[in-house]
Amino acid sequence: MSNLEFWNKVCTTDPKHTKKVTMGRTFTAIDPMYQIMRATEEMGVAGNGWGFEVMEHVFLPTDEVAIKVRVWKGDRANYIEQWGQNGLYTDNAKSKTDKDCMKKATTDGLTKGLTYFGFNADVFLGKFDDNKYVEELLKKQAEPKPETPKELSLRLIAALEKVVTTDKLRVWEKVVAVKDARDGLFMSNPDLSRDVDDALEKHYLKLKA
């Protein structure tokens, strides 16, 4: 496995889950729940395939709280530690405390830790400052995605139910031809292959009846 294999798998960010923020400077903010969702997609359920722990918290003289977050991947022995920060107040006069400051600082540490595994690296590499890059991502997302073997099989099976009896054998021939062409994909997922074969066989027996 290449050192960058996992990185390259998770580095691309969906622009729909970002927004431009101006706080002294303009930067691209990523929805933290989107990051957690992507981590779950790629590494498994939180607490099993990956997870995080709060290791330490410090109140800073700048009226901020800093929280050290440990983010682990696969095994708790494989971890990254990062600090997240957040202000203690929501206004410059420091008259309104931020009741969510601890949670926000924890989220900040968590999302920073995930970036060390490669998540959303294109944002932190400055690619979202290039409008053409973002436009290409949006264009790619708009393109129709190829059918998965399961989607293909369900569509063809549904077609068997809709055609008149005299045409069913012709449709069955198409099903077999397409399935044969996709055998490589089915072979990579034996459970899916068995499910699809069982469904197709059921319809084949109907045709013979």
> In 3D, which of 40, 18, 41 has the Cα closest to residue 28?
18
**Residue count of the chain:** 209
Is the pTM for the entire model greater than 0.75?
no
Q: Does the structure show a pLDDT above 60 at 118?
A: yes
Instruction: Answer whether residue 20 shows pLDDT above 80.
Output: yes
Report the pLDDT averaged over residues 142-148.
75
- The highest-confidence range among 21-30, 96-105, 183-192, by mean pLDDT, is 96-105
Least confident of 57-66, 82-91, 117-126, 172-181: 172-181
pLDDT digits (tens, 9 = 90+) for 148-161: 766 766 776 676 66
Q: What residue spans of the chain are helical by DSSP H? A: 5-10, 32-43, 101-115, 121-124, 131-142, 149-162, 168-181, 183-187, 190-208
Domains, the chain: 5-142 (3.30.390.80), 149-208 (no CATH)
Q: Which of the four pLDDT bands, split at 50, 70 and 90, describes residue 24?
A: confident
